[in-house]
Structure 1
């Protein structure tokens, strides 16, 4: 028997996720403020010496940070440096490995959903577009294109001998712009916002971001997954409309071929869980065993979203 829709959720994953996104921004800003420095590259105070933020227990950005003397590096940034310099240092691997292990255990694209400041900004842009009633394409670029974008960035880094994405990353434009007043990637950020407003829904995060492509490549191994209760599903399509990653990643569960969202694209953002009126979707640990091939598919396939 199908459950009666219930739109009253006592808890929203989106609330927690937005709180974490803001907390990450504040975490990186805190050392500068505690040391008496300003944000956006603005100096504070007179000629008196002020402490160096790098001397504090935590300091850095999403590209490179230090926690209690332990250096952490963006693994995709490390790959770019290796390609650009044509050299390899063991320290680079050791400093990037904790990040790879953490997101690999959780879910690699959890970075995109829970940490990336560009995603937070684009969710606000998404809300603005809906409020203005602007219609855009739902999928102008295939979602796996970002895998090829990531490979292209590495190839260009090798050819140009510079870490290419670091020079135009909209993620750095937000993160490093707030912290240090960096303008690198600012034009890219403007183009991404314009594309979100007038071209395609979530087109950067879903299809073009090379960092998202890198995390998609290692994303299937995560322990945090969206699980599906087929007895509760009423096929209302609310989850597909809410999905930040790409609605197609929900197809294997909605057509009852699987019981958990396995796609490396999944951000574990919880938007689909929040949107489900019957609690057919939930966040959980581990991956259920795939149903056998003899499992009977649902007679009702979710409709394709229109733009």
Structure 2
């Protein structure tokens, strides 16, 4: 929906993705409001007993939640807890549903379709375009993300604290509005400044440790962006629209591959929506090679 340059082109996948992102951003707010909470952690109820958020069908956050009585844990957050505590709790079994889901689909689909930071930064892209601010396309290589993820785990083990969870911008706006918490909010502010004046998508493309974790497991996903070489005219509009790294489309556009094999692809669908010849589509493609 938002592009850094020129007019925005709205495609079916982009619209669907934004709807999912908004729904996911609101999902964990609803239980709190249903329990009588207002903004900044205040309570609007009277003296009568009401349900606490944990007693409702859905509650929690993107790091730890419960849906219809089923506990779900973010795999990367769980890894930080494991290395920080130097022990594996039985609750870590609740990592498996989320991990299996993203392994089967494609790891970074979380980044493309769920993470609220991605949606927020698309708005930043639009603002930067309106202001005419020029920034570097890839100031930091994307392979840095997995390195940052590994460094987070090492530091978590050293200091016995899940480091990234202390500064994570994921859910920062929700926490600020609902609880008045600044946890992760300053990280989000710093990201916005960097995005506006230094590099296009530098956080999501190159620095986010959560994205680095999902990039690492993303190479085995069953869904990929597939290309019809007979329809492709090599206009490179797909590369200009890519939210990850335009280079992940190089092999496909050059006719050397029938799909985007990189684990960094988050199936956002922007390349599909921007293709004038409908040469790209998201579909099942069993991995033949593994690539970050």
* TM > 0.5 fold call: yes
Q: Structure 1-normalised TM-score?
A: 0.87
1:250 Cα offset (Å)? 0.4
The aligned residue for residue 65 of structure 1 is 65
The aligned residue for residue 79 of structure 1 is 79
* Between 17-26 and 178-187, the greater mean CA deviation after superposition: 178-187
| Number of equivalent positions | 281
The aligned residue for residue 135 of structure 1 is 134
The 1-side partners of 2:183 and 2:204 are apart by 19
**1:132-189 Cα distance to aligned partner (Å, 9 max, x none):** 1000000000001000000010111111110000011111313433443321111111
Unaligned runs of 5+ in 2: 1-8
The aligned residue for residue 21 of structure 1 is 21
Decide whether aligned partners of structure 1 residues 154 and 269 sit closer, same or farther in structure 2, where only a CA change above 3 A counts.
Answer: same
**1:209-261 Cα distance to aligned partner (Å, 9 max, x none):** 00000000100111221110111111111100100011011011011110011
Decide whether aligned partners of structure 1 residues 158 and 275 sit closer, same or farther in structure 2, where only a CA change above 3 A counts.
Answer: same
Unaligned runs of 5+ in 1: 1-8, 291-307
The aligned residue for residue 30 of structure 1 is 30
**1:1-37 Cα distance to aligned partner (Å, 9 max, x none):** xxxxxxxx99521000000000112221111122222
1:289 Cα offset (Å)? 6.3
User: Any idea what SS the aligned residue of 1:113 has?
Assistant: helix
The aligned residue for residue 243 of structure 2 is 244
Decide whether aligned partners of structure 1 residues 140 and 237 sit closer, same or farther in structure 2, where only a CA change above 3 A counts.
Answer: same
Decide whether aligned partners of structure 1 residues 227 and 159 sit closer, same or farther in structure 2, where only a CA change above 3 A counts.
Answer: same
The aligned residue for residue 51 of structure 1 is 51
Within-5 A mapping of 1:235-274: 235-274=234-273
**Bigger radius of gyration among the two:** 1
Q: Structure 2-normalised TM-score?
A: 0.92
The 1-side partners of 2:176 and 2:102 are apart by 24
The 2-side partners of 1:288 and 1:231 are apart by 22
The aligned residue for residue 225 of structure 1 is 224
Within-5 A mapping of 1:180-219: 180-219=179-218
